[in-house]
A and B are shown apart, each in its own frame.
Chain A
Amino acid sequence: MTGLQKPELVCPAGTPAGLRTAVDAGADAVYCGLKGPTNARNFPGLNFTVAEMAEGVAYAHDKGAKVLAAINSFPTAGRTDIWKAAIDDAVSIGVDAVIAADIGAGAYLARTHPAQRFHLSVQAGASSVEAINYYCRSFGIKRVVLPRILTVAEIAELHSEIECEIEAFIFGNIGMMAEGRCLLTSYVTGQSTNMDGVCSPASHVHYAEDADQNLTTRLGEFAIDCVSCGQTTGYPTICKGRYDTAPKKGYYAFEEPVSLNLTKLLPDLMRAGVTALKIEGRQRSRAYVRAVVSAFRQAVDAYHAGADPDISDLLALTEGGKETQGAFGSKTWR
């Protein structure tokens, strides 16, 4: 693959220790969020105080890595000060880019901190040339994080027509709904993915086992899956549950509990002109982050050098041991 620019490996950092782990394992950049509703992974025990993020920036910069601050949920009317403060704080501690999705947050960032590098979050759901160029023109975004719904061929075509860099997900959890446009958690639990940064909150998940050891999983009042003894499954979300419709019973109506794994498509993505490769998983353990980041570091370096790396280890790390190329491989996924 000589002659191609080596893509940046963008890795998750849910905690300060996770950030150091990812940087040490070879991340070119880490992304992280501040505590509270301002980012799309507002889970208990995750995320950074401003002071912690400042320390993270110092640590990463010292090792030649970048820090990208995800402030990518949708500020709610009447409490936008929380998001504005998060943007101001992130800029003041010297993050390398702010990742945002909301038009209002984008307008605030572009107006108040015009020199700050701005990446358009996947939560903006910008999946067409025109949508991406709208954000480029309106807010001067430098990079778009693409929704996980495009094929590699479509990404290559997009690359030639848009005015910014492309960051694409390559590994980790894959939500089935268009990012930034899913109210399912909100409908069931009252906590909103868009406004609170919450998806399928653990506080609303309940398990009940019957006499035959069948395990029913509930989110709020609704049974979203029933697992018989011995079956493996991932973290329960509405879009990976099993349901009944008239034509089919007890099936994964939206998607099986699988993880995205584009290891085999990495050379194609690099040829398609992708600037940055993103690994999902700010909620995952340090051991997981270390293993995944190291493996991808080796894979990207090997592909770039024209070698064929051994990528079999990554399968063991996917959700429930099941993997998919999602939309990236072929249109038949749709």
Chain B
Amino acid sequence: MISAKEVKKIARLSYIKLNEREVEKFSKELSGIVDFFQVLKKIETEKVEPMMGTTELTDVLRQDKAKVCPRANELVKRAPENKDNYFKTKPILER
């Protein structure tokens, strides 16, 4: 069961704002999904190492050399707000 309080907490972590109706809806839906996850409980995994990916590739290396990105200026220009070839945001530090 994921309570309304927990839903509000994970919404806050996710930078998403929910109204009361949505909190109730997601609480019900997420609880159903998390209940379903219990099917994994009966699988014995004590001695199993977690696996992060499927490739078994390790350390795909390349030369640590900087490359010029010919599109950099164009990328900045297509941002929601930009100025003098920089991304523009609200102040990061409060005054």
Please say whether chains A and B are actual partners in one complex.
no
